[in-house]
Amino acid sequence: MNNENKPKLTTKLKSGGQKVKHGGYSFLSKGELPKNRKHVLVYLTAARMNLIADLGPTEADLTAAQIIIIDRIVSKLGVIRCIEEHIRENTVMMGHQLAP
């Protein structure tokens, strides 16, 4: 069946195309942030320190399970922040509001 006989919707939906480059995957897989996302590292470091302070005065006071959970939360938060920044830069957002 050639493209002329297919419904238009299936003709328009092709696989491939440009992949989204928000930096979340490289942070999750390699622990690296893109150069334009270095400010996210400051945020994540502060978030980790505050979570540790909430559960125990120091990291030495936490159990292994608590440390693992905190580290996993921070890594997921890093991915989410990279995606949020990408959306803010590449969509119709102006700050925290939709553009007119």
Taking only the tens place, the pLDDT of each residue in 5-43 is 655 554 454 566 666 677 777 777 787 887 888 899 999
Please, what's the b/e burial string for 68-92 (b: 16 or more CB within 10 A of its CB; e: otherwise)?
eebeeebeebbbebbeebbeeeeee
Q: pTM score, two decimals?
A: 0.68
pLDDT value of residue 56 = 95
Taking only the tens place, the pLDDT of each residue in 44-59 is 999 999 999 999 999 9
Statement: residue 85 has pLDDT above 90: no
Question: 97 pairs with which residues across the strands?
Answer: 94
pLDDT value of residue 66 = 98
Q: What tokens were used for 10?
A: 């299936």
Q: Where are the domains of the chain?
A: 22-98
Listed residue (22, 56, 55, 18) closest to 40, CA to CA = 22
Helices (H), 1-100: 8-12, 24-30, 38-55, 64-90
